[in-house]
Structure 1
Amino acid sequence: MIGTAIRENAAGRRHPAGGDRRSGGLLHHPLVRVITRRVAMSLPLLLVVTTLTFLMASLTPGDAAREILGLEATPEEYANLREALGLDLPIYEQYWHWLTHALTGDLGTSLFSGVPVMDAIAERLPVTVSLVVGSLVVSLVIGVALGVASALRGGVLGRIVDIFALAGFALPAFWVGAMVIVIFAVQLHWLPATGYVSPAQSPVDWLKSLILPVVALSLGGVAAVTKQTREAMLDVLASEYIRMAWASGISARSIIYRHALKNVGVRVVTVIGLQAIGLLGGTVVMETVFVLPGIGSLAVSASIQHDLPVVQGVVALITVVVVVINLLVDLAYTWLNPKVRAR
């Protein structure tokens, strides 16, 4: 194909002997450089985020001992419990104790339930993962399909897509969640309004419990992916090498799916990466609206109870997930973009 030949010829000019690129070894491979850079950046980021979280949570009025004992406890009982929980230590000593244990994989135990933080997170993690993955899949599939269709057809469909994108950006997720509950759960009785069912218990009920929160959570993502896909597709279709491909008699299917979509993929990957990070915060709202036992609701309840080990564990997990998502986006971008691979 024309586009492939152009890229191959350009690559040949950059590496005429075919061995210069390999001479640097594996350490100089673009993907390895991306991984190394991201890992090096993630360590200080994780330290800064956990430090600030610990400081802000510690300086918040109230503490776990008061929440556990209530207002009727005597000063002696309150002081003894604070000592038993380690809350009487200076803030820097509390943080250092948490950090040294966290480096070994021990995130501590909940001050309220006594359950290890890792176990509490592991119990609720499948709910949040189901929400995020489901929303990303819906955003990607529907967004790309609508974006490509509107770019190819234009006219009325293009204007409809613009209106839909504007509505998706403007409508708050919690309001959409409340509306779908009223319509599909309360009035039509098609789907459950709240609650979560494990897939091991019933795959069908599990799917039903996720449909409404995923729809509410993915509306903004569908709008963003649709808008970006449409604009990127229009730019690619107007490029010179696509016009040459049309003039050469290459089939429309080959031009769209083998050439245009690959170039559109760079922008879509970036949008999906940003959407995945945003969903980590959006799940807090959706889990509250739909009463889902996920990481977001765990963080909210731990914050209210001043359960610092749980808050720290959730923040550390989310920070690591954000770093991993950024790494995956960079790797995908490097793989899709020949200019980046050639550096």
Structure 2
Amino acid sequence: MKKIKNKKIKLGISIGDLNGIGGEIALRTFEDERMLDFCTPIFFASAKTISFLLKHFDIDIKFQGIKTAAEALEGKVNIVNIFDDKAQIDFGVETKESGKYAIQSLKSAVKSLKMGEIDVLVTAPINKSNIQDDDFKFPGHTDYLNQELEGDSLMFMITESLKIGLLTDHVPVKDVAEKITVDLINKKYKTIYNTLLKDFGVEKPKIAFLGINPHVGDGGVIGQEDKEILIPTLEKIREKGDLAYGPYAADSFFGSGNYKNFDAIIAAYHDQGLIPFKTLSFGKGVNFTAGLDKIRTSPDHGTAFEIAGKGVADHNSFKEAVYTAISIFKKRKEFKKLTKDVLQKQKRRPASSRRGRFE
């Protein structure tokens, strides 16, 4: 019998801000031909733009120009031509034009993701200022993906040993406390619990919460939110038998090494989670949009205009984003198969003995 060859995962790449380091780090990742053993990369840009970047950075890659992602060839770096003209590239400069191309690339890649033409998406960094226009009013990738894809998105910063999710992400500090509600805490906890279960293979997740206020409010002396909202909500979660811990004072949680005792940590707001994450993992971490039915990852840094075009950008975080997207895709397939097997077994058991978990 002839052996059926498994198709490689189709990995879409949105090019990000052309004046930043996105193009460089994405192409550097696939300069190593061994990467083509793991996936079929599909860039959403233009042949002219990619040719310019390859020449500028002296990167040796042979690519295949295609009209749609569905035409991608295995064993090749594929470029979906979505720019009609030659995009102007001014490294290190924030321009409205580079923002326009970044969003054009993102929208095209997400459309292909929704259609099933690509399996996963890795996004190169965008600039949150120059992407704003009448058709795109989002503070970043996460909010746009939440609108376009099914589910409840959550910014999840991950490495093999450290995973941090956020209750609130791109929100002004003055608005953080009023946005943290019982419903939000439960929703974000559920999302992280499920992603650890099906995307990372953690059977009984241990999840720690950081306090909203300094010293977890010191019993209400420094703010009432921990005492009145967070602590009672965690108590109810624990009553279900879940391993939800805290809240812990954020100022000592990471320096003491306590974070190593948990599968994931939930921070109250952006900097509370991302400052320790990037301090401990910068250049090695991955931003994963958890909670969606499709998979999107990105490197843990921004456009880095200050070094753009100089050929010195570190592509390791982008490479990790590629590996992570592939790994999660495979884990989800395994979880789906496992769930199917469990359901078949449950059908043969008495209804009174069946027990469920988060759907």
What is the TM-score normalised by the length of structure 1? 0.29
* Larger fraction in strand: 2
CA radius of gyration, larger in: 1
Q: 1 or 2 for the larger relative contact order (CA 8 Å, sep ≥6)?
A: 1
* Larger fraction in helix: 1
What is the TM-score normalised by the length of structure 2? 0.28
